[in-house]
Amino acid sequence: MIRFNQVSKRYPGGYEALRNVSFDIAEGEMVFLTGHSGAGKSTLLKLVAAIERPNSGSVLVNNQNVGVLKGGALPYLRRNLGIIFQDHKLLFDRSVFDNVLLPLQICGFDHRESAKRVRAALDKVGLLKREKANPIALSGGEQQRLCIARAIVNRPSILLADEPTGNLDAAYAQEIMDIFRSFHQVGVTLLISTHDESVLQDAGVRRLALKQGELQPTSTGSGPA
Ligand SMILES: Nc1ncnc2c1ncn2[C@@H]1O[C@H](COP(=O)(O)OP(=O)(O)OP(=O)(O)O)[C@@H](O)[C@H]1O
């Protein structure tokens, strides 16, 4: 469950990226976050992950007010969250396998269990045969799938994705969306920021639309935005 209550976010320098934003996302729901460049989509996702803090209002994630979490509590929040960043944040000095392994190492999983989980995650995104490759040798679509494997290896209940199909052609974008739908079917909560029209045509997915930091009346997507 994700709940924003009258959330505003101002960056140092005074720019107000989000203004009085309120919404609820139920457990197991899949929601698109849309809006023009600079509308505040990344900021909203960062507030869910407690990468940024609100200046006012509350951000609840699984009933926890993450806007006021102390540093020591952050790893517990992040264990329940998978994040797919806009700029990938892949490590090019280690293999595909080791990139996915990293979150488990941070959580202290033993080696055997970790290896099992890494291979299960790579299998889900169709990259099992590439585990020894360096991410630099992967195509854009494969790198994006690798990011998804890394985000889900902890089996999070909530998955956040920031423009996951940006720079991909329509066929690759659909592949990525098929992977997200398969997580949705097993009960994962998904919040996906996108302005990709081919993705937004997905009928029945609720949209949260931001415009200059404000939430617009919500709709359920059944055609082009
Ligand atoms: N760390 C920061 N410091 C100052 N201003 C910032 C910071 N991060 C974002 N902003 C500003 O806040 C506004 C919202 O940015 P944000 O990245 O949330 O938008 P977005 O909708 O994700 O855009 P895009 O689709 O281009 O990624 C922008 O005007 C941006 O310049």
97 secondary structure, DSSP code: H
For residue 20, the CA-to-ligand 1 centroid distance in Å is 16
Question: Could you report the predicted ipTM of this complex, rounded to two decimals?
Answer: 0.96
Q: How far is the CA of 69 from the centre of ligand 1 (A)?
A: 23
Looking at the CA of residue 195, tell me the nearest atom of ligand 1. 25
Alpha helices by DSSP H, 36-161: 41-48, 74-79, 96-107, 111-124, 140-152
Handedness of CA 147, 152, 153, 156 (dihedral sign): positive
CA 142 to ligand 1 center in whole angstroms: 26
Question: What Cα–Cα distance (Å) separates residue 176 from each residue in 7, 118, 125, 168, 171?
Answer: 30, 19, 9, 10, 9
Residues with C-beta less than 6 Å from any ligand 1 atom: 11, 13, 15, 17, 35, 37-43
With beta carbons less than 8 A apart as the criterion, state whether 159 and 151 touch.
Answer: yes
| Per-residue pLDDT tens listing for the chain (225 residues) | 999 999 999 999 889 999 999 999 999 999 999 999 999 999 999 999 999 999 999 999 999 999 988 888 888 888 889 999 888 889 999 999 999 999 898 878 889 999 999 999 999 999 999 999 999 999 988 999 999 999 999 999 999 999 999 878 888 888 899 999 999 999 999 999 998 888 888 778 999 999 999 999 865 554 443
- Both ends of the chain: CA-CA distance in Å? 25
3 state SS of 151: helix
Give all domains of the chain, ordered by start, each with its CATH number: 26-53+64-80+156-225 (3.40.50.300), 87-155 (no CATH)
Does residue 195 contact residue 34 with C-beta atoms inside 8 Å? Answer: yes
